Amino acid sequence: MNRFLGIDLSDGVKRHHLIAYFIAAFVSSSYAGALAMLQPGLLQVMEIPPAEQAMLTGYLSAMQEVILIVLMGIMGALADRVGRKPVYVFGLLATATGFTLYPHADSIAELIVYRIIVAFGSAAMIGMMVTVIADYSRDSTRGKANGLQGLIATLGAFLPPLLGALPKLFVDQGFDELAAQRITFASAGALGVVAAIVVAFGLAPHVERASSVARESILDMLREGAKASRNAGIALSYGAAFISRGDLAVTGAFMSLWLVQFGTGVMGLEPSEAMFQLAVPRVMAVVGGALVGSLLMGYISDKVTRVTAVAMAAGLAAAVYLSIFFVEDPTAPWVMALLGVMGVAEISAFVSSQALVGERAPAQRRGSIIGLFGVSGAVGILIGTAGGGWLFANIGPSAPFVLFGILNSVVFVWALVVRSRSL
């Protein structure tokens, strides 16, 4: 048995395959939060009225998630047929293209077109990021594997704040605000091209699959993947995917927006200054908490049942997100500490849900099942961004967080019920 970094590797998987995967996962995870960090500043530069920015943010994210809902199951089934590598390469290159074009939009209509390109790439990229680690690890160390992947994903989450700091640096060097945005987005696009090259040459050449499955149509694969939800554990993993991705989306989309609007509207800062002084350090606090939480939940997931791990993560997330109701000033010192705990909660839900679906999904159906797992996550992101955008604009900036505090409470109770029935 081949073992690397504490992970028992599957047959045919070598150490360099896992290293290549982690490089790709690092870039993939950075893309997940990059638009949420960069878009508020771009909307300010495009002179879109502040009152419209929250709704536009929600609608653009919602459109992307609808595309993900439609495509992620298909991408997962396609990966069961042709392998993970070509699907992953396509996802990274399409996402990189969308990012590079994004700040060249002269209208909301162009923003929509470029966001569609990003969405097509994300459907492939996100699904493969989850599927490949499930392929590469044996069940004995699946929690550690997902914890380490969560750590890599968290390190990748440091990139959006760093990218968010670039526009001010470019402005200080003499570039105008629009040029600074374009250079920043192009830098983000270059990362995807590099990762695509690493995937093309570094991932395992094929994924072992049953010949009968390989001959099935995409529709049959999706149908069989849907039937797997009759398993209580897989159904719970779909629910956990819903809240874990929704948690990340709400924090990514609306915490930065809240801080940028607070900085420009209350403190009189320029958009780049508000991003640099307020949003970047607080997003870093979330990421710092996630660094701790990824390793902690990876360890816990191998020590308790994966259902118990999901219950623990959902319970913590419920408490943290409901606490945002009491935040009036997002720059208050105590909020920084709360955001650190939020990072622990977010990544714990992320890691525990992936470990659960990886454990319960049969190897020959893994792409399809994890594709539908991704669809559940996309629905969570859709509710978080579209519904959250409306709540942010019409009720208050804490409302999207409170919504997901309630939804995390539901999954917490659901996990306890599944756990009690399996004892």
Question: Which residues make beta-bridge pairs with 381?
Answer: none
> pLDDT value at position 159?
84
In this structure, is residue 4 part of a structural domain?
no
Query: Which residues, at least 6 apart from 85, have a Cβ–Cβ distance to it below 8 Å?
Result: 199, 200, 203, 204, 205
> pLDDT value at position 195?
95
Candidates 136, 139, 124; CA nearest to 356 is 139
Calculate helix-pair angle for 366-382, 108-136, nearest 10 degrees: 140
Sign of torsion, CA 156 162 166 169?
negative
In this structure, is residue 144 part of a structural domain?
yes
> pLDDT value at position 211?
42
> pLDDT value at position 5?
80
Tokens describing residue 345: 């909660």
> pLDDT value at position 342?
93
In this structure, is residue 397 part of a structural domain?
yes
> pLDDT value at position 210?
43
In this structure, is residue 40 part of a structural domain?
yes
> pLDDT value at position 216?
54
In this structure, is residue 389 part of a structural domain?
yes
In this structure, is residue 41 part of a structural domain?
yes
In this structure, is residue 114 part of a structural domain?
yes
> pLDDT value at position 221?
60
In this structure, is residue 141 part of a structural domain?
yes
Domain assignment of residue 250, given as a range: 13-203+216-418
Run means of pLDDT, 10 residues per run, the chain, 423 residues: 78 87 92 82 82 78 82 80 87 95 89 93 88 80 80 81 84 86 91 94 68 53 68 87 87 83 80 77 84 85 87 94 91 89 89 83 70 80 82 89 95 93 73
> pLDDT value at position 251?
86
| Helix spans in 270-332 (H) | 271-274, 280-303, 306-323
Q: How many domains does the chain have?
A: 1
**What CATH number did the domain enclosing 180 receive?**
1.20.1250.20
Radius of gyration of the chain (CA): 20
Q: How far apart are CA 222 and CA 226, in angstroms?
A: 6
